[in-house]
Each structure stands twice: as C-alpha cells, then as structure tokens.
Amino acid sequence: MKSNSPLVSLQHPAALRPGLLLVFAGLFALLPPGAAAQTMRLSYFGETLTRYGLRTGLEHTLAAAESRSPAGRLRTHACIFATTLTLFRHPHNHLGLILAPEIGWRYTGGRGLILQAALTQGLFRSFYEGKTYEPGPGGALRRVPLAGQWGYLPGCSAGFGQDLSRTGPSPLKWTVHAHYMAQMPYSTTFQHRFAIEFGIIHPLNP
C-alpha cells in the first residue's frame, strides 16, 4: 500500500528514503572523530504526560560561547548534540521505543538558569500490547509475533532547568522539556505526539 506521506513510505525501516538516512548520518558526522560524550541524561518521559517512560541520552557539546554578565557571572551558549533512547508505555495500547539524535541550543545563565531548544530526528517502533492476529493464506487467523509499527518521528522541544554547579557544589543540572513529535506514516498521514521530559543531566567526567 502506498503512503501519501511526503517524507517516507515505510512499513519497515529498510523502506526509509535515502534522504532521511542522510539526515541521520549527517547529525552523527557533526561529532569530532573519537569524541566521548560529556554528559548523560536520565529522565522521566511522559508521552501525553501519563504514558510513562524513561529516556536516557548522551550529550556532546559541539560548540560553546561564553560571556560575562555585568555582575561578572559566567553565561554560556552551547550547541549540543545528543543521542537519546526512550521507552514508554501507553497502557493497554503499546510500548514505544524511540531512538532519536537531537541537535539543540542551550543557554546557561549566571545563576544557573537553563533555557534550551532542540530539533530531533527519531526512529520509532511500537510494540502492541496483547496479542495481534492476521488472516493467513487459508483464511485462518494466525498470531503475529512482536507486532507493532515502524515510524519516522521528527520533532522539536523546548525547555528550561537549572545548572546546580553554578550556585553550589552539585555537578548536576535538572531540566524540563516539552516535546512535539509527528509520527509518520499513520493511516497514510501522520499522528501528533506530545510529551513531557523531566530529568537530570550528569557530567560523565566531572
């Protein structure tokens, strides 16, 4: 069945259009060769707030610019590349798995206030809860193992938080992100998805 989606026509990731794969590859290519992640994210990920899940991610600072406030406090603008892996559950519907490279901007103010925004390219896979059946060649119903749906999940996010290292001894940052994602294909169109992410960022080499 042909999809009307402008970006993808897939039931399986092998059907992803080459251009889309280049976008993914391009994001990874931004990393310096051999670069190690500098921070790690661990968050509650609530798709539509209550469809609970966990998100982990590794972050690299690709570029940063520093300045001083009139009071002499350090301000930072950073371009962050992150790779995140998310698992969430929509109870009695499906489990969702998202692998999403992300590129974004993060501002850290003198007193530790964080403002940030990011764009993501996600690869999505759902696993339906319960048992899925389909008619076989003879018409008899047969079980479909690990039934679910593949999808492309581009999105954007915006958030805020605080860098605790700016005001105290803790090396942690806490952040809250609001996410918008578009899952496609979905019935030959796309599905809006919203999520909230709340978690911490921990330096790997403090």
User: Which residues lie near another protein (CB under 8 A)?
Assistant: 1-4, 11, 42-44, 46, 48-54, 89-93, 126, 128-135, 141, 144, 147, 149, 170, 172, 174, 185-194, 198-200, 202
- Cβ 121 vs Cβ 79: under 8 Å: no
First to last CA, the chain: 52
* Shortest Å distance, C-beta 205 to another protein: 16
* Shortest Å distance, C-beta 163 to another protein: 13
Is the Cβ of residue 23 or residue 200 nearer to another protein in the bound state? 200
Is the Cβ of residue 50 or residue 205 nearer to another protein in the bound state? 50
* Shortest Å distance, C-beta 137 to another protein: 13
Going by C-alpha positions, the residue among 99, 106, 48, 110 that lies closest to residue 74 is 110
Is the Cβ of residue 103 or residue 172 nearer to another protein in the bound state? 172
Tell me how far apart the alpha carbons of residues 163 and 75 are, in angstroms, rounded to a whole number.
Answer: 11
The one-letter amino acid code at 147 reads: A
* Shortest Å distance, C-beta 28 to another protein: 27
Is the Cβ of residue 30 or residue 180 nearer to another protein in the bound state? 180
Tell me how far apart the alpha carbons of residues 38 and 69 are, in angstroms, rounded to a whole number.
Answer: 25
- Cβ 53 vs Cβ 89: under 8 Å: yes
Going by C-alpha positions, the residue among 132, 40, 125 that lies closest to residue 87 is 125
Is the Cβ of residue 29 or residue 140 nearer to another protein in the bound state? 140
Provide the phi-psi class of 166: left if phi over 0, else alpha when psi is between -120 and 50, else beta.
alpha
* Shortest Å distance, C-beta 14 to another protein: 15
